[in-house]
Amino acid sequence: MRTSLVKSSDPYNGYLKSKLKINYQLHFLLLPSVVLILMFSYAPILGLIMAFQDFKVSKGFLGSPFVGLKYFDILFSTPDFYQIIRNTFFFASTEIIFLLLFSFIFALLLNEVRATFFKRFVQTFVYLPHFLSWVILSGIFIEILNVDGGLVNQFLVNLFGMKPIFFLGDGNWFRFTIVTTDVWKEFGYSAIVILAAISSIDPSLYEAAEMDGANRWQQTLFVTIPSLIPIMIVVATLKLGSVLDANFDQIFPLYNGLVMEKADIIDTYAYRMGLLNLNFSFTAAVGMFKSVVSFVMIVIGYRLAYKLANYRIF
């Protein structure tokens, strides 16, 4: 234990002095991030004013006329608006849930591996798909999920005698495919945080558990999992901020006319509107709508975490 405690002649006085210094030092430490955020986030946020303008590139923010909520009206009166929002929520929320769940389980399983070599290999391999773009992967998936002779269907037909499944041409299977492939691509990457959290668990907790006679299962159940709950809550809540950020990069190369009803999300819709007439105001309005929803979701998540788990995530 630290013996240096005795060293200060007047510990109480020293403590008070540092208490006085506290605030200026804490403010000082925050200064660089505040300045950077002001410059590169808040200054551009002022540009959201274009959501309320008929923004014209040659006239800029000062010269473009204000049109009030026109672009929000257009967004909300889109005939398929609710369908699009429903799809977006569906993809985003299922992906959040399954991704967290799967990477959590994966991290626990990997934690049971004691061959360091094997562990590092697995860890490095599974995070690689994260770095492959969906443009590349979608080409591969279209191939192996082909309804007529694709690898997966050959497997299903020959081994289980099933009828071939049109994975990307049937709305419900499309959803299933999108969520599954996204979880496959991202679980290794999102497990990194959880693995770091496992590494941060105080080993004395395990020692204590062992002394109490806990076996390996019980250690996982009573030490590892409870220690991970705070970080899981944090990650889950932060992810709530992206409930309207269904994966555009993934859905765009894979969606098609056959599955439109189940696949069209807010970003694909905004993208097509952009192709139609490059309306920056409309894009800004969509972005702002998404941000407001995210903000509300984060606030709710924050409150819930505090109410239910008595944990403030930030």
Partner 1 sequence: MKYSSKSYTLFTIANYIFLALLSATCIAPLLHLLALSLSSKAPANANLVGFWPVGFTTAAYYETFGNQNFIRASIISLLRSVVGPVFSMIVTTMGAYSLSKEHAQFKSRNVYMWFFVFAMLFNGGLIPTYMVVRSIGLMNSFWVLILPIAVSVFNMILLLNFFRASVPKSVEEAAFIDGANHIRTLFFIYLPLAVPALATITLFNIIIHWNSYFDGLIYMTDSKNHPLATFLLTIVVSENANPLGMVNNIKNISESTLKASQIFLSLIPILLVYPFLQRYFIKGIIMGSVKE
Partner 2 sequence: MKNFKYYTVIVLILSFMGIVFVGCGVTTKESAPTSTPITNASSPETTNPESTAPITITSAKWRDAGVVFRDGDTWENNIWSRMINEKLGVTVEDAWSTPDWASFEQKLLLNIAAGEPFPDVVFDYYNQGNPTLDKLVENSEILMPIQEAFDKYASPTVKKAYSLAPKSIWSKFTKDGKVYGLPILSDGIGNATTLIVRQDWLDAVGLPAPKTIDDLDKVLDAFTNNDPDKDGKKDTYGINFGWKDDFSTYLGDTSWLFGAYGAIPQIWTKGPDGKLAYGSIQPEVKDALVKLRDWYSKGYIDPQAALLNVYEAAKAKGFMAEKGGIVAVPQWGYNQIKDLFTNNPQAKVNVLPIPAGSTGKVARLGDSGYQGAFFFSKDFQNMEAFFEVFNLMYEKENPDNDEFKFGWIKDADYALDTDGNPLYGDDMKKVVPEGYYKMGNFMLGFESVPTVPLKYFNYAKELVGGATPSTPDELNWSKTNNPLAWNIMSTIYDQKDISVKDEYDGPVTKTQSTQWDQLKKKEHEVFLKIIYGQLPIEAYDQFVTDWKAQGGDDITNEVNEWYATVK
Q: Is 11 in the site for partner 1 (CB under 8 A)?
A: yes
x/- letters, 249..288, toward partner 1 (CB under 8 A)? -------------------------------x--xx--xx
Closest CB 223 distance from partner 2, rounded Å: 25
What residue spans of the chain are helical by DSSP H? 11-37, 43-45, 60-63, 70-76, 81-111, 116-126, 134-144, 151-160, 171-199, 203-211, 216-219, 225-240, 248-254, 260-263, 266-277, 280-309
Give contact residues for partner 2 (rule: CB under 8 A). Answer: 56-60, 74, 77-80, 142-143, 146-149, 166, 168-169, 254, 256-258, 260-261, 264, 269, 272-280
Please tell me what DSSP assigns to residue 115: -
Alpha-carbon radius of gyration of the chain: 26
Site for partner 1 in 17-46 (CB under 8 A): 18, 21-23, 25-27, 29-30, 32-34, 36-37, 39-46
278 binds, among partner 1, partner 2, none (CB under 5 to 8 A by kind): partner 2
Query: What is the rounded CA–CA span in Å between residue 296 and residue 307?
Result: 16
CB of 158 to partner 1, least distance (A): 19
Out of 122, 258, 273, 304, point to the residue binding partner 1 (CB under 8 A).
122
Shortest distance (Å) from residue 115 CB to partner 2? 27
Rounded distance between C-alpha atoms, residue 252 and residue 260, angstroms: 11
CB of 173 to partner 2, least distance (A): 13
List the structure tokens of 286: 């969509």
What letter does residue 164 receive in the DSSP assignment?
A: P
- The DSSP secondary-structure symbol of 47 reads G
Interface residue with partner 1 among 78, 93, 279, 294 (CB under 8 A) is 294
Determine, following the binding rule CB under 8 A, whether residue 127 of this chain makes contact with partner 1.
yes
Smallest distance from partner 2 to CB 146, Å: 6
Position 300 contacts partner 1 (CB under 8 A): no
Which 192-251 positions form the footprint of partner 1 (CB under 8 A)?
192-193, 195-204, 210, 215-217, 227, 230-231, 234-235, 238, 241
Q: Smallest distance, Å, CB 153 to partner 2? A: 11
Residue type for position 129: P
130, 214 Cβ separation under 8 angstroms: no
Establish if 66 lies at the interface with partner 1 (CB under 8 A).
no
Distance from C-alpha of 230 to C-alpha of 309, rounded to nearest angstrom: 9
Q: Which is nearer to partner 2, 77 or 310 (CB)?
A: 77
Contact 153, 145 (CB under 8 A): yes
The span from the CA of 230 to the CA of 228, in Å, is 6
As beta bridge partners, residue 66 has 53
Q: 123: number of CA atoms within 13 Å, CB side?
A: 20
Size of the site for partner 1 (CB under 8 A): 93
What is the closest distance, in whole angstroms, from the C-beta atom of residue 277 to partner 2 in the complex?
4
192 binds, among partner 2, partner 1, none (CB under 5 to 8 A by kind): partner 1
The footprint of partner 1 on residues 137-196 (CB under 8 A) is 137, 140, 143, 184, 188, 192-193, 195-196
* Close Cβ partners of 202 (under 8 Å, ≥ 6 residues apart): none
